[in-house]
Amino acid sequence: MKQKYYWIIGIIILVSITIGTVLTSIPFQKDVGKPEPQMVLAPYVDVEVTVTSLFLDDLYSDCEAPEVCPRDRASLKIDKIDRTGDPNNAMNLNIGDEVEFRLKYSARPAKLRSDISPTCPAGWIFKSGSCVAEGCEGSECPVSSPQYDEKPAELEDGYIVYHLPQRTDEVTEKILSGLEKGSKIKIRIWQIPNFEISEYELI
């Protein structure tokens, strides 16, 4: 009876050792299924804010073409927040907070004119925002990204005109009417390094 008991214990020990060896030989993949960090969308919030102060740079001071000039800044008080893009408030922004950002385009009246013509390689044409092999039709046609020259901003009839790459088949233009103390605007704030306000909507 004792001998049979020892045989059973021996078999259990042998099976345990075998299973342990197999498990340790299988590579452990940590966080399988999670996206790579660079694929994760940065948090953002859509806010309504009041301009509390403006810091206007001298026109074209310390600017070297094709850098966007001038480098204005604005202090903003947050009046309303839509946290759809940051439900856990990772950005730590709250109603009543005052924040300061640079403006990609001036706080003065400005025009964003997409008129820098695209350049495609020889034998290619610009179509729907891309360079396409000339004479090729359909979804199987090879495409490539066009190249753009730089063009500095300039003054035109009281507006600072920013020349931007032409992404469509037509030249487009958007007017930013300018900011002043007390202006109320809608913007999207992203949690990215060196964030700048680009376009805004007056409310």
Structure confidence at residue 134 (pLDDT): 87
Q: Establish if 156 belongs to a structural domain.
A: no
Q: Establish if 9 belongs to a structural domain.
A: no
Residue segments in the chain with a per-residue pLDDT below the cut of 70: 1-40, 60-68
Structure confidence at residue 170 (pLDDT): 85
Q: Establish if 47 belongs to a structural domain.
A: yes
* Calpha distance 93→83 (Å, rounded): 10
Structure confidence at residue 65 (pLDDT): 52
Q: Establish if 8 belongs to a structural domain.
A: no
Q: Establish if 93 belongs to a structural domain.
A: yes
Structure confidence at residue 66 (pLDDT): 52
Q: Establish if 171 belongs to a structural domain.
A: no
Structural domain tally of the chain? 1
Instruction: Find out whether the peptide bond into 35 is cis, omega within 30 degrees of 0.
Output: no
> Which residue range forms the structural domain that includes residue 187?
39-108+178-203
Q: Establish if 190 belongs to a structural domain.
A: yes
- Give the angle subtended at the CA of 194 by the CAs of 67 and 53, to the nearest 5°: 85
Q: pLDDT of 165-175, one tens digit each?
A: 988 878 899 99
Structure confidence at residue 33 (pLDDT): 35
* Calpha distance 187→105 (Å, rounded): 14
Residue 79's nearest CA partner among 177, 184, 200 is 184
CATH of the domain at 46: 2.40.50
Structure confidence at residue 3 (pLDDT): 52
CA distances from 153 to 60, 130, 175 (A): 9, 25, 14
SS3 2: helix
Q: pLDDT of 31-65, one tens digit each?
A: 333 333 433 578 999 999 999 999 998 776 555 55
Q: Establish if 30 belongs to a structural domain.
A: no
Sheet holding 159-165, edge to edge: 154-156, 159-165, 110-116, 172-176
Structure confidence at residue 81 (pLDDT): 96
